[in-house]
Structure 1
Amino acid sequence: MLSDAKVRAAKPRPKSYKLTDTNRLFLLVTPSGGKLWRWNYSYDGKQKTMAFGAWPQVGLADARAKRDEASGHLMEGDDPTILRKLKVVAKLEAGRQTFERVARAWHENAKAQWAIVHAADIIRSLERDVFPAIGDMPIAQLTPPLVLSVLREIEARGAIETAKRVRQRISAVFIYGIAEGIATSDPAEKLGAVLKPLRKGRQPAITDLVPLRRMIRTAEEDYARPVTRLALRLLALTAVRPSELRGAQWDEFEDLNGSEPLWRIPAWRMKGDADRKDELHGDHLVPITPQALAVLRAVWPLTGEGPLVFPSNRHAHRPMSENAIGYLLNRAGYHGHHVPHGFRAAFSTIMNEWAEREGKEHDRKVIDLMLAHVPTGKVEGAYNRAAYMPRRRELAMAWADMLSDGLSAPSVLLDLPAKAMGPQSRRRVLPPVDIEFRFPTRRRSSAKIIAR
């Protein structure tokens, strides 16, 4: 019978030799000095040998424990060597069954019950928010804290409702895995109770500059029609109401080839009562910054032959859908956190804070004027809507410079995927061009494109 001392004292010899222990366990000492644990046993009339590892990584007590475990399997009629191989295969297969692999199988199995767009949104949300964090982990090894950490990351950017939707989708993947015998439990099942509650009341808006820019970048990188991406950018730059942007017509823009380009939104298209809509000088004037002009130059080759700047995809004579920009923000993961109308709140908050830092208290009423707000005590007809135009242009420039920092040029947005289909869905961008806007008297516009 072996002891720890005998094992340590064993010296190599010219040939391998054995030091035996009880119940057919032995230590094989090799000429190179290796000390290997082995166990002999009989199964189905055949003599077999099972390896338990090398000393000192496996001590005498550990080797005896492995022998006793294997002997127990043998008494139950199982070949312990075969059982070990099966365990190795099972562990390898479990390692291959990553969360992403199972999630894609679940999505492929379930997508027939969803609309095509909704199915694409579901897998897109997993690709964006889940797979980078836990996609390569075996699904059977995921725990509630690991899944919660993924959801907390989504909450951290303010997308509270998105976090709740993603939890439901993660849970559905685990239920599929359980049914397939790949997982044994659903660690996402109870996490809904600890997620942040949805905010209620005012329309959600991001009012901090850095997260706002991040949101715009994220949305623009998602799949969408180029016209929708450009509409989102112009909406952010001008802070007009979404309905005013959707109805924008090319002949509302003035001096686009000059030094002081302007967007004159007719009074009848503005929010307000009948007096506002009938007001002689009730048009809303929006200074066009170089950044906004770049958006118009990018969209002109796409829609300049028609009256509308942002027409419907199906009907060129109708404005784009009122939900198009909102759906883009939702797909980007900002559902419940920022809506198209939220750019007005963002502009008001950020620019008023900027004016306070710069010591420009007078700018507050100019900012209100840029948002088409009438100051308290004023009446619609008695309010000069063209007032402070030089300062409005300066503030518009300050806003555009802050907002555009780090954003792609509008022309780049034309080459991003239009659908969730990969590289084949990209369109080829034409070489850079200088565009001269020409607006005839009729409500249909034409452009002269001059290659650089």
Structure 2
Amino acid sequence: MPLTHKQIQATKPKDKDFKLSDEKGLYLLVKKTGAKYWRMKYRFSGKEKLLAIGVYPDTSLAMAREARDQARKKLASDIDPLAEKHAIKAANKLNTENSFEALALEWFNTKQIDKSEGHQRRVKRNIESYLFPVIGHYPINDITAPILLNALRQIEQRGTIETAHRTKQIAGQIFRFAIATGRAERDPTPDLKGALKVPVKRHFSALTEPKDVGCLLVAIDSFTGTYTVKAALQLSSLFFCRPGELRRMR
């Protein structure tokens, strides 16, 4: 006879595990600890198999029967419900391991480790503040150009255009790392060329009055930082060179 809810509730554990049969292969396994597990016994390709359905009372009698009926429909279509369950579980695990967030952190720990602390801090802030909340949970292969653009547009709407462009560059590096390590097929960032606003270039005013230049030289002479920085400031006022050129001077 089929099980009833009242019968299940009244069932007490025994010295050994035992089964309460329902219908069409479904039964309730009652453990000696008192735990109750729904199981379905079936045959596929001539082999007897066992499908775990759930734990009572989280999975009720009605829910267990619905799951059994769905499994029987799959069997009627020549689909092994246990193999399908394992395949879905494996795919979900793979998607979690290959999420944008997981790969971004792996890229950061691999490719940014030799960078300065300041650079590392800026990069990590960008990916954690702007990319993870929007696309961090996506499997990296599921992220298309429009999905990435949505994340970048949110940065753009804050008025931080340059940050949006920098974040796009960082995302591109993460995608290329994923491609190189066999976890992604393509980088969508080239598809976004021209999609973001162009940052407005700002020109900084130059000192043109002799008295202003004099004040600057006095300020440099009064600088109390390291000797190297002070020497660099003094040299820059003599040679008018770019900071990069100054750093490479002997």
TM-score class, shorter:
0.5 to 0.7
Contact 2:155–2:161 (Cα < 8 Å) also in 1: no
3-state secondary structure, aligned to 1:58: coil
Please say if 1:38 is aligned against 2:39: yes
Contact 1:29–1:36 (Cα < 8 Å) also in 2: yes
Q: Deviations over 1:105-126 (max 9, x none)?
A: 999xxxxxxxxxxxxxx99975
Tell me which of the two structures has the higher relative contact order, counting C-alpha pairs closer than 8 angstroms and 6 or more residues apart.
Answer: 1
1:271 aligned residue:
208
Q: Distance in 2 between matches of 1:39 and 1:83?
A: 15
Matches within 5 A, 1:241-320: 241=206, 271=208, 284-286=214-216, 288-289=218-219, 293-295=223-225, 297-300=227-230, 309-310=235-236, 319-320=240-241
3-state secondary structure, aligned to 1:271: coil
- Paired residue type of 1:37: W
3-state secondary structure, aligned to 2:235: coil
3-state secondary structure, aligned to 1:2: coil
Q: Can you give the 5+ residue segments of structure 1 that lack an aligned partner in the other structure?
A: 108-121, 206-239, 242-269, 312-316, 326-417, 419-452
2:10 aligned residue:
9
Matches within 5 A, 1:22-421: 22-100=23-101, 102=103, 126-131=123-128, 134=132, 137-140=136-139, 148=150, 152=154, 156=158, 158-167=159-168, 170=171, 197-198=197-198, 200=200, 203=202, 241=206, 271=208, 284-286=214-216, 288-289=218-219, 293-295=223-225, 297-300=227-230, 309-310=235-236, 319-321=240-242
Instruction: Evaluate the alpha carbon distance shift between residue 44 and residue 282 of structure 1 in structure 2; reply closer, same or farther with a 3 A threshold.
Output: closer
3-state secondary structure, aligned to 1:73: helix
TM-score (norm 1): 0.38
Instruction: Evaluate the alpha carbon distance shift between residue 199 and residue 88 of structure 1 in structure 2; reply closer, same or farther with a 3 A threshold.
Output: closer
Q: Deviations over 1:105-150 (max 9, x none)?
A: 999xxxxxxxxxxxxxx99975441146519944328988998567
Instruction: Evaluate the alpha carbon distance shift between residue 83 and residue 98 of structure 1 in structure 2; reply closer, same or farther with a 3 A threshold.
Output: same
RMSD: 5.1
1:331 aligned residue:
none
- The structural deviation recorded for 1:101 is 5.1
- The structural deviation recorded for 1:6 is 2.7
Contact 1:2–1:21 (Cα < 8 Å) also in 2: yes
TM-score (norm 2): 0.63
Q: Distance in 2 between matches of 1:154 and 1:36?
A: 52
Q: Distance in 2 between matches of 1:147 and 1:65?
A: 42
Contact 1:25–1:39 (Cα < 8 Å) also in 2: yes
- Paired residue type of 1:285: C
Asked which structure has the greater CA Rg, the reply is 1
Q: Distance in 1 between matches of 2:65 and 2:173?
A: 45
Q: Deviations over 1:150-188 (max 9, x none)?
A: 7645764x531331453476478669979x77599x79x
Instruction: Evaluate the alpha carbon distance shift between residue 77 and residue 171 of structure 1 in structure 2; reply closer, same or farther with a 3 A threshold.
Output: farther
Contact 2:17–2:32 (Cα < 8 Å) also in 1: yes
- The structural deviation recorded for 1:66 is 1.9
Aligned residues: 230
Q: Deviations over 1:35-69 (max 9, x none)?
A: 21011011232222221121011111221222223
- The structural deviation recorded for 1:289 is 4.9
Q: Distance in 2 between matches of 1:77 and 1:293?
A: 81
3-state secondary structure, aligned to 1:89: helix
3-state secondary structure, aligned to 2:223: helix
Q: Distance in 2 between matches of 1:62 and 1:291?
A: 81
Instruction: Evaluate the alpha carbon distance shift between residue 147 and residue 86 of structure 1 in structure 2; reply closer, same or farther with a 3 A threshold.
Output: same
